[in-house]
Amino acid sequence: MSIRESEMLVGDVMLSPDRFPVVGQRTLLKEALEEMSRMRIGIACIVGQDQQLLGILTDGDLRRMLLKVQKPFSAFFADDALDHAVTSPLKVLPGDTLLQAVRLMDEKRVWDLPVVGEDGRLLGLLHLHPAVEALLSTDA
């Protein structure tokens, strides 16, 4: 089967929430960055009660912030991570095809897509590396 015919779904490949940074809505920016460093992934998903996805914070967001924010680092670190998050991020459903999701990642130039249920709860993260690996294995 070629990559173009792959029927794999996002839900087959996504990382479960224990394998990428998931932080609460009152997590400080500094704590979120520590979690991203600890898990070696450039995105943190911020969730509210019931695991509703409230926003995402990425390495790219941080880079842009560093060039823009004028306040002292100590104040920046003490902000809530959610203050600096993208609150309407691109996201996919677990039932979406992997091919569609990877095309979306290519089009939007992003490395990660949060995976949410119909009710908005965070279910996982589609990370580019395992997604590509899964598609390439289809081609083998």
Partner 1 sequence: MIEIGYGTVSPVRIGEKLPLAFIGGPCAIEGRDHAFRMAEQIGKICRQVGLSWIYKSCYDKDCRSSPDSFHGIGMHEGLRILADIRAEFGIPVTSDFSDPAWGAATGEVCDMVQVPAYLCRQTSMLRVAANTGRPVHLKKGQFMSPWNMKNSVRKLEANGCEQILLTDRGTFFGYNMLVNDMTSLPIMARTGYPVCFDATHSIQLPTSMGNISGGQREFIPCLVRAAAACGINALFMEVHDDPDNAKSDANTVLDIKYLENILIQAKIAHEMRLEILDKLGEDNVHPGK
Residue 71 C-beta: closest distance to partner 1, Å = 7
* Nearest-approach distance from CB 65 to partner 1, in angstroms: 8
Determine the distance from the C-alpha atom of residue 77 to the mean position of all C-alpha atoms in its chain, rounded to a whole number: 21
**8 A C-beta contact, residue 116 and residue 123:** yes
Distance CA 29, CA 105 (A): 25
Cβ at position 31, least distance to partner 1 in Å: 11
Among 39, 69, 93, 128, binds partner 1 (CB under 8 A): 69
Residue 2 in the binding site for partner 1 (CB under 8 A)? no
Among 31, 34, 79, 96, binds partner 1 (CB under 8 A): 79
Provide the H-helix boundaries in the chain. Answer: 10-13, 29-39, 59-68, 73-78, 98-108, 128-139
Of the residues 4, 38, 40, 68, which one makes contact with partner 1 according to CB under 8 A: 68
Residues 121 and 48: beta-carbon distance below 8 Å: no
Q: Which is nearer to partner 1, 49 or 74 (CB)?
A: 74
**Count of residues near partner 1 by CB under 8 A:** 11
Quickly count: other Cβ atoms within 10 Å of residue 108's Cβ. Answer: 9
Binding of residue 78 to partner 1 (CB under 8 A): yes
Q: Which is nearer to partner 1, 76 or 111 (CB)?
A: 76
